[in-house]
């Protein structure tokens, strides 16, 4: 009987010799094996990196609460605005049933669960910060709560620059569907439309986008397709200014506690014509530097513009006709919160682009905040040479709801 240690040593030697023979017999493959081993070793860090990459698809935004999500929520990469019209003969009870159904669907989808009648529930398992925000048009109020619509809930005044088409205007019920993944948005949109088709017809759908998730640091101001930094002057969600602008205060009350309004304007941007303008002309028309969005009188994006500053020949550095000057109200109560998305669809004519902005604006009172700004832009804004509003819709955004309620339940509180 051999000592255990001797036997083990002999066995190891045999094993080593056997392995050497095998390797020797496959000498031509040694380099390949070594290379493969290197790749395997080199592959480990990649796997580690992949494992450490944040999984944004699992991200969720709470649905229930006193306010609807999708307003102060950091804007996601993709958005769809869906306007529905109530079918003829729909009663208030029908609207109530519709809102209950859509609330249930939205609550589930935003938390990564399939809707009740979801035949492809797997598509809901990656919510990617999905939010669904409801807005009510005049037609919904006429059926569900006659006489209770806020006074500003009507089409905007006719502006000289408008070239509106019905395919992008008005609507009884709006669903703003936003997420960081386009597949998530598409699935949520389909499910919500499937469950609402007994009550409504689709009036229009407008889809938009921002930078893909992870492309820029969170909080970076978006750029539109003119290359401009777009939305620098926005109040910051959570701030006192945001609360006052979006949800009102004692001097400017919203139509409902924790409710607000949404104006959606589809603004066509003539990129083909914009291409003919040089860089300085572009900056002068906007009043900001293209590089970082700083006002022409400043250095950094959030520097306050100096409208009194003059150039060497005595003209204002920021021209009176610039978009920045016209959009900046003298009255501090005339502020809005914009949450816009770009759009880019195949051109239908001789041009090479059909692009623009889905300008979504939240404010407590449309007449007191949005309309005065739009009037100034309509009167004099050199940017109007390259932009044309082609769609316009106004909605009252109701408060949120609790798990036992539904969005819009307040409309029926006194019915």
Count helices and strands in the chain by DSSP H and E runs? 10, 11
At residue 276, φ and ψ (nearest 5 deg) are: -80, -10
- Give the integer Cα–Cα distance in Å for 112 and 123: 9
Strand partners, 200: 86
Burial 142-153 (b: 16+ CB within 10 A, else e): ebbbeeebbebb
Catalytic residue among 85, 180, 230, 365: 230
**Residue 325 backbone phi and psi in degrees, to 5:** -65, -40
The beta strand positions in 35-161, using DSSP E, are 78-86, 131-136
Burial of 388 (0-12, 13-18, 19+ CB in 10 A): middle
Which tokens belong to 86?
């109530």
Task: Say whether 365 is catalytic.
Answer: no
d(CA 139, CA 382): 36
Burial (0-12, 13-18, 19+ Cβ within 10 Å), 17: exposed
Q: Which of 398, 414, 393, 338 is nearest to 164 (CA)?
A: 393
The answer to whether 209 and 357 are in contact (CB under 8 A) is no
The CA distance from 84 to 71, in Å, is 20
The beta strand positions in 270-336, using DSSP E, are none
Catalytic residues: 230
């Amino acid at each position: 009987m051999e000592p255990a240690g001797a036997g083990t040593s002999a066995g190891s030697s045999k094993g080593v010799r056997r392995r050497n023979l095998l390797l020797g017999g496959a000498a031509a493959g040694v380099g390949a094996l070594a290379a493969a081993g290197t790749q395997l070793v080199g592959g480990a860090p990649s796997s580690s990196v992949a494992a450490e990459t944040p999984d944004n698809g699992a991200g969720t935004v709470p649905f229930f609460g006193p306010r609807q999500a999708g307003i102060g929520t950091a804007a996601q990469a993709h958005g769809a605005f869906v306007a529905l019209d109530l079918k003829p003969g729909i009663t208030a009870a029908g609207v109530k049933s519709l809102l209950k159904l859509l609330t249930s669907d939205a609550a589930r989808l935003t938390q990564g669960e399939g809707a009740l009648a979801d035949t492809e529930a797997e598509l809901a398992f990656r919510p990617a910060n999905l939010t669904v925000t409801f807005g009510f048009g005049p037609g919904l109020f006429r059926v569900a709560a006659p006489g209770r619509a806020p006074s500003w809930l009507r089409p905007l005044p006719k502006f000289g620059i408008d070239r509106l088409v019905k395919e992008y205007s008005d609507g009884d019920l709006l669903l703003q569907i936003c997420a960081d993944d386009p597949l998530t948005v598409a699935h949520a949109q389909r499910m919500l439309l499937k469950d609402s088709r007994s009550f409504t017809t689709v009036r229009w759908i407008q889809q938009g986008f921002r930078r893909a998730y992870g492309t820029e640091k969170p909080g970076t101001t978006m750029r539109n397709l003119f290359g401009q930094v777009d939305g620098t002057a926005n109040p910051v969600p959570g701030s006192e200014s945001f609360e006052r602008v979006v949800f009102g205060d004692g001097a400017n009350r919203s139509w409902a506690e924790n409710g607000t309004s949404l104006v959606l304007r589809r603004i066509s941007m003539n990129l083909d014509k914009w291409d003919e303008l040089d860089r300085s002309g572009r900056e002068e028309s906007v009043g900001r530097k293209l590089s970082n969005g700083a006002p022409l009188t400043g250095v950094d994006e959030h520097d306050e513009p100096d409208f009194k500053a003059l150039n060497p020949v005595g003209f204002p550095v920021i021209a009176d006709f610039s978009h920045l000057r016209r959009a900046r109200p003298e009255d501090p109560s005339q502020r809005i919160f914009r949450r816009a998305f770009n759009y880019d669809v195949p051109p239908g004519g001789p041009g090479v682009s059909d692009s623009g902005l889905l300008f979504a604006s939240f404010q407590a009172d449309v007449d007191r905040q949005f309309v005065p700004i739009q009037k100034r832009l309509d009167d004099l804004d050199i940017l109007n040479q390259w932009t044309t509003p082609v769609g316009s819709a106004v909605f009252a955004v109701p408060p949120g709801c609790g798990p036992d309620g539904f969005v819009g339940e307040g409309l029926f509180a006194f019915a």
